[in-house]
Structure 1
Amino acid sequence: MEINTDAQKIEEILTRSVDTIYPNKEKFEELLKSGKQLRIYMGIDATADYIHLGHSTNYIMLKRLHNLGHKIIVLIGDFTAMIGDPSDKTSARVQLTKEQVQENLKTFKEQIGKILNFEDTENPIEFRFNSEWLEKLTFKDAVELASHFTVQRMLERDNFEKRIAENKPLYVHEFFYPLMQGYDSVALDADVEIGGTDQTFNMLAGRTLLKQYKNKEKIVVAGTLLENPITGEKLMSKSLGTGIGLNETPNEMFGKVMALPDEVIIQCFIDCTYLKMDEIEKITQQMKEGTNPRDFKLQLAVELVKMYHGENEAQKAKEYFINTFSKKQTPDEIIELKPTENNIVAVLLEAGFVDSSSDARRSIEQGGVKVNEQKIDSFDYEVDVGDVVQKGKRFFVKIV
């Protein structure tokens, strides 16, 4: 396989959406310019059934590397998902059953395939599961893995230190997570691992193990996380159930992008789109000069929906958004629902607008539910055929 060593493309890989490279940028640059095909992977645990824009940052990086001719491996942590990654957590994760993990996995490849080309036969992308090797490890193997790390090193994690200081439980099995994720690097014989900065500890554990087991130096690329620069909060989180999923409908995706705070627009252009950096710099300058951020947020929303649903759907979603929210119109095309019950709480549940009856009641109490553009304040309200039920600004359903 011929490897592309174009200096400009390599520079984009080394700098765009990158926080830190271990051991350093120069070593990775040297490898990328060597002409050698590198084995590069990113792992993701199946702790939810969707991939969000935060993950897309690293998959876009993998796409750029695949375009240069490198061997790309998408690793699914089906085994590690049953343990739970303690990274950036102030309490232990809930452990998932094998059945829950398998359910979450059903559309993973399809969603990731919106970015990576799994149909490429010339340089096929591998799709692997870490249960292939982790399920085969014996207790003796686990003890051998653990012997490469000290308790002091494990306790270097900020969240572990915080939990101890706050007298919160810290379970022994949580120490095994970085060992298992680290062993993935050994099993895959990886040259490079890519992940978010929240995965740095785990990725460096893999770097340690690969050096110990195979005397091989792995490059670790810690990518930037999508965070609000003012609050420091993550914009996307599977464990918190927040973010914009790649499996969202065009209208949902567009509306959620428009709901993002203005201060994250530029970072989303950099991390989540293919827009060239010089174009993004122009947008940055125009925002500094006072151009309404909404104009660029519309551009961002179109760009993202186009990436995952195509140009036609992106334009339709833009029109829907402008007509529905900017012009305060009810959309022309509304999902229809034939409810099993006519009670407004049941309708909201069946339409998928809320997660529970209490959530529905809370929305009604807060004035967030309308029928035929009139606010509803009763939990006992009964809808009729032909009524248009609205929750918030973006969710509509017509009763049939």
Structure 2
Amino acid sequence: MTSPSSKLNEKISRLSEEIITEKELEGRLKSGQKLRIKYGVDVTSPFLHLGHAVNLWLMRAFQEEGHKIVFLVGDFTTRIGDPTGRNEKRPKISEADIKRGAKEFIKQVSRILLTDKKVFEIRKNSEWYSKMKTEKLLELMSLVTNAQLIKRDMFQKRIKEGKDIFENELIYPILQGYDSIMLESDLTVIGSDQLFNEMMGRDLQQKFGQSPQVIITTKITPGIRGGEKQSKSLGNYIGLLDSAREKFGKIMSIPDDLIIQYFEVYSDTALVRIREIERGLQGKKINPKDAKMELAEAVVLKYHSADESKDAKNFFVETFQKKNLPQDATTVIVKKGEMIKDVLARSGLVSSKSEASRLIKAGAVEIDGAIVKDIGAKFERGGIMRAGKKRFVKIKIV
């Protein structure tokens, strides 16, 4: 009989919101059984931020105990589209885009997960769905009632708003649940928005004679501006592939009331130290800026080298505290009258014109310290342009 290490226990306690069920998890870990941990992804948007990384770090802790992550590429179900969080039907995704998305997902998760074959396995659900006969599908669907499916919150919302629910969306939870059967999943680590689908997996596993998978839902924190959780569309995220400087700058920009939450969920700082910082902030003995500086260093060190972390800190101090322009700021040649949002995209400060528009609307673009408020604004003179908290270019008008 073996028990999980104190490190794994601490990760579970620190990062989990709910465990279904704790008794089942405890029993499986104490038995010495090596668990198969389902990690399924819809590869339409291969973009990961620190919110996603919470699940990955918890799974990494299980890997270090010898448990295996089964990385399931939902190449078949991606064509249907998970309706989670959506009020409208998603457009069809091409097979080429699915392949590209899967490749990028694997590249990003490998920054955290171990990829040794002993603890990492890659599967695709097209392995079984592309061969499934209509008879088998109907048999599977007969195990679930319409009442079970239609009670899902996003479907109820669509019904109230008079919007359509397409049949392929309605059966998505059944297909995701059946994935757990095919993978013989013992455990899955998810965000709470996937709980409905994975509970379907537990139900179906029992009907197929398998032990139901344990479900761990992880803690979700607000984005870097507070309020809603991290999202690429909202621009309130810290990307897994962000540079050390970008991560540092974004951490320094968070509201003071998120400091402790971010320490607990996104850093490996000892809980004893976090409680010290919490008391210091409450008693006004620690300046929030100093706490954020320590937090930013801790988060950056989790993803980057000590040299990169030191560089990120120095860059922030020189640029934002001492107000010195970065020496490596690029010079961009601009024609007078050229639109600012176009130059933001062309210079590489942002990935697209739509992102440029979002940043301008959020008041996150400045020229020589003056906030750009109009998305249709044009360049009339040169200067220093800043996008977000840490991206700069020198503008030269020709």
Class of the TM-score when normalised by the shorter of the 2 chains: 0.7 to 0.9
1:48 and 1:238 in contact (8 A); partners too: no
Corresponding position of 1:104: 101
Deviates more, 1:257-266 or 1:187-196: 257-266
Distance 1:172 1:313, change over 3 A: same
2:225 and 2:254 in contact (8 A); partners too: no
1:225 and 1:234 in contact (8 A); partners too: no
Matches within 5 A, 1:324-339: 324-337=319-332
- Gaps (5+ residues) in structure 1? none
Corresponding position of 2:228: 234
Residue 197 of structure 1: CA displacement?
1.0
1:339 and 1:350 in contact (8 A); partners too: no
Corresponding position of 1:36: 33
Counterpart selection for 2:298 from 303, 319, 322: 303
SS in 2 for 1:214: coil
Corresponding position of 2:248: 254
Deviates more, 1:124-133 or 1:197-206: 124-133
1:370 and 1:391 in contact (8 A); partners too: no
Corresponding position of 1:55: 52
SS in 2 for 1:295: helix
Counterpart selection for 1:390 from 379, 386, 389: 386
Q: Which amino acid aligns with 2:327?
A: D
For the pair 1:351 / 2:347, whether they are aligned, the reply is yes
> For 2:310 and 2:338, how far apart are their aligned partners in 1?
35
> For 1:159 and 1:19, how far apart are their aligned partners in 2?
21
Distance 1:322 1:339, change over 3 A: same
Residue 239 of structure 1: CA displacement?
6.4
> For 1:52 and 1:364, how far apart are their aligned partners in 2?
22
Residue 338 of structure 1: CA displacement?
6.0
Corresponding position of 1:317: 312
2:84 and 2:193 in contact (8 A); partners too: yes
Distance 1:81 1:229, change over 3 A: same
1:265 and 1:297 in contact (8 A); partners too: yes
2:224 and 2:236 in contact (8 A); partners too: no
- How many pairs are equivalent? 391
Corresponding position of 1:197: 192
Q: Which amino acid aligns with 2:105?
A: F
SS in 2 for 1:91: coil
> For 1:46 and 1:199, how far apart are their aligned partners in 2?
15
2:367 and 2:385 in contact (8 A); partners too: yes
Per-residue displacement from partner, 1:243-280 (whole Å, max 9, x unpaired)?
22111122222222222222222222222222232232
Residue 317 of structure 1: CA displacement?
1.0
Deviates more, 1:90-99 or 1:190-199: 90-99
> For 2:388 and 2:224, how far apart are their aligned partners in 1?
27
Distance 1:268 1:374, change over 3 A: closer
2:224 and 2:255 in contact (8 A); partners too: no
> For 2:362 and 2:25, how far apart are their aligned partners in 1?
56
Corresponding position of 1:156: 151
Q: Which amino acid aligns with 1:145?
A: L
Per-residue displacement from partner, 1:327-352 (whole Å, max 9, x unpaired)?
22211222355679993534322013
SS in 1 for 2:239: coil
> For 1:381 and 1:239, how far apart are their aligned partners in 2?
26
Per-residue displacement from partner, 1:18-51 (whole Å, max 9, x unpaired)?
12211x2122111111111111122222222321
Counterpart selection for 2:278 from 281, 284, 289: 284
> For 1:303 and 1:295, how far apart are their aligned partners in 2?
13
Residue 185 of structure 1: CA displacement?
0.6
Corresponding position of 2:163: 168
Per-residue displacement from partner, 1:278-324 (whole Å, max 9, x unpaired)?
23222222222222222222222222222222111111111111221
> For 1:133 and 1:240, how far apart are their aligned partners in 2?
36
1:335 and 1:397 in contact (8 A); partners too: yes
Q: Which amino acid aligns with 1:224?
A: K
> For 2:365 and 2:387, how far apart are their aligned partners in 1?
6
> For 2:177 and 2:364, how far apart are their aligned partners in 1?
50
TM-score (norm 2): 0.86
> For 1:277 and 1:358, how far apart are their aligned partners in 2?
37
Distance 1:285 1:105, change over 3 A: same
1:17 and 1:224 in contact (8 A); partners too: yes
Q: Which amino acid aligns with 2:265?
A: D
Residue identity (%) = 33
